[in-house]
Amino acid sequence: MINNTILKKHLLRAAMVYSCFFLLSCENDEREINEWMDKKVMVEEAKGITSLFSQGGTLRAKLTSPLMLRYLGDTVYIEFPNTLHVDFYDSTITRESWVDARYGKYFENLNKVLLRDSVQVINIKGDTLKTPELWWDQNLKIFFTDSSVRITTKDKRIYGGKGLEAAQDMSWYVIKQPTGTIRVSNESMSNEPPPAMPLPPDQQ
């Protein structure tokens, strides 16, 4: 007959040894998982970059930024964490508008850029769009956002609201939820009504 006291001691030792192996195994598994996760998302870094966007062999935009981070995971995307500037060109390679933002994120598979933080778009006429967040669709050549927007025209009229869709060159734009118009130029003291906002070509 086996002594119960001796049996309990052996079982206790066996349990302690098994626990140690279990903890070591868990630690190794966690380390391996972390290493696998680190390897899964690779990051390429480039400084002082200039990137050209073309369509049909014609230059359409030029992006410059002091820092670019390219993430190579399941979804490939590029970040511009330290500001970016984009110049847009027409079919004759004449600059028609430009945009500045403190942060940008380019989704390669969508050909879209998310712009955030002090976003400002200006066209050659002098119209200025300001918003905290803006999307640029490279294929459609449009901007869109659901955030608050403020547009100041060349004659110092200000349009505000929430949500916007606009041409890349700001030749037309639609504010989804307009809040009104403010005239701030000297001529605005007259009683003439403010001009209508430019509309998309299919609504003219």
Is residue 21 located within the same domain as residue 47?
no
Domain with 163 in it? 43-203
User: Residue 93 in contact with residue 59, Cβ under 8 Å?
Assistant: yes
User: Residue 121 in contact with residue 99, Cβ under 8 Å?
Assistant: yes
Q: Which helix (H) or strand (E) holds 20?
A: helix 4-40
Is residue 111 located within the same domain as residue 71?
yes
Q: What is the b/e burial string over 158-194, where b = at least 16 CB atoms within 10 angstroms of the residue's CB?
A: ebbbebbbbbbbbebbbbeeeeebebeeeeeeeeeee
**Tokens standing for residue 173:** 């734009």
Is residue 60 located within the same domain as residue 152?
yes
Is residue 64 located within the same domain as residue 107?
yes
Is residue 73 located within the same domain as residue 130?
yes
Cα separation, 128 vs 136, in Å, equals 16
Count of domains for the chain: 2
Over residues 152-183, the pLDDT tens digits come to 998 889 999 999 999 999 999 999 999 876 66
Over residues 16-58, the pLDDT tens digits come to 545 554 444 455 566 665 655 555 668 999 999 999 988 888 8
Is residue 29 located within the same domain as residue 113?
no
